[in-house]
Structure 1
Amino acid sequence: MNLTLPPPTLEHLCDLAVTITAPVEVGLTPAGFRRMIPITGGTVTGPRVNGKVLAGGADFQLILAGGTQAHLDARYVIELDDGSRVFVQNTALRVASLENSQRIMNGQPVNPDEVYFRCQPKLEATAPQWAWLSESQFIGNGRRAPDGVFMSFYRVC
């Protein structure tokens, strides 16, 4: 008997363009090098979800592996076009060469093809019509730019 189930499919949920400001360098802790990147806003556009990223969130980063790995934990709120709000907790892994990692940390552009950036957003909806966001799994990919972060979220079907 074959116990392997078919792979899930992906449904494009939305694209995010998140604006940020200068990082707050926490420094070297026993766990690794920590940074906090304030989130100042952004846009959400897509076939299933549209709205804006509210200011006030942040991306908490733990830099490991000699600077080549960034373990990310971003928390922010999306306000949908109908006024409903969605809490987002997005964990991610970004892996790049030491040179590209340093360029990212210094706010310089890098070739996104040379960076592994994948995420697992968890969404918590406040309105009944958006309950399916809280009842689904999502994955995504991202690209870090000097002035922001660009991500695409997909529902795992």
Structure 2
Amino acid sequence: MTAPFPGAETPEAPGLTFLAELSVTVGEPIDVGQTPEGHRRVIPITGGTVSGPALNGRVIPGGADYQLLRSATLTELDARYVLETLDGRRIYVHNSALRHGSVDDIARLNRGEAVDAGSIYFRCWPRLAAACPEWDWLNTRLAVGTGERHPDHVVIRIFLLD
């Protein structure tokens, strides 16, 4: 990579540490319809699993993904839900994301059909918040992630920024 301007050194990018993979099960979309901001949908979160080197447990049913279809190729995602660790502690997740793909692929996703994950740009920035001392360190970390939308679930891989 070249320096942004002559004589400047390119700074080192922060590293990433894998935290966990979430497999989030979802229900049928609730279609709100076209609003001034775009087409709104609400996707109920019905459960799921959490597995990783530092975080394991389940996704508690009851959250939702509040979607805004900005265009035929771009969707903004705003998911809010709760994880429960193996020791019974709860972690609140607010996950913002962008999903982009071809008109055909996004239409297929919105109809609940399978689409090759490699053809969709799905990136997120989850914020995790914990009230208990054991997980307090999550309150002081930033995370990014990748996503894959499947017909009945979403896979989110979360990485902490070093």
Task: Pick from 43, 59, 78 the counterpart of residue 73 of structure 1.
Answer: 78
Describe the superposition over 1:34-81 as per-residue Cα deviations: whole angstroms up to 9, x where unpaired: 00000000000000100100000000000012x210100000000011
TM-score by length of 1: 0.97
Could you list the runs of 4 or more consecutive aligned residues of structure 1 that deviate by over 3 angstroms after TM superposition? 1-5
Bigger Cα Rg: 2
1:1-157 equivalent positions in 2, closer than 5 A: 2=8, 4-65=10-71, 67-157=72-162
Distance apart, 1:27 and its partner CA: 0.3
Partner letter of residue 149 of structure 1? V
Describe the superposition over 1:124-157 as per-residue Cα deviations: whole angstroms up to 9, x where unpaired: 0121111111100000000000011001000000
Describe the superposition over 1:73-125 as per-residue Cα deviations: whole angstroms up to 9, x where unpaired: 00000001111100000000000101000100000000111000000000001
Distance apart, 1:3 and its partner CA: 6.6
Partner letter of residue 138 of structure 2? L
**Which stretch shifts more, 126-135 or 86-95?**
126-135
> What runs of 5+ residues in structure 1 fail to find an aligned partner?
none
- Percent identity, aligned pairs only? 46
Query: Partner of 1:86: helix, strand, or coil?
Result: strand
Distance apart, 1:5 and its partner CA: 3.2
- Distance in 1 of aligned mates of 2:11 and 2:89: 36
Query: Partner of 1:57: helix, strand, or coil?
Result: strand
Q: CA RMSD in A?
A: 1.0
Partner letter of residue 141 of structure 2? S
- Distance in 2 of aligned mates of 1:131 and 1:149: 26
- Distance in 2 of aligned mates of 1:122 and 1:87: 8
> What runs of 5+ residues in structure 2 fail to find an aligned partner?
1-6
TM-score by length of 2: 0.94
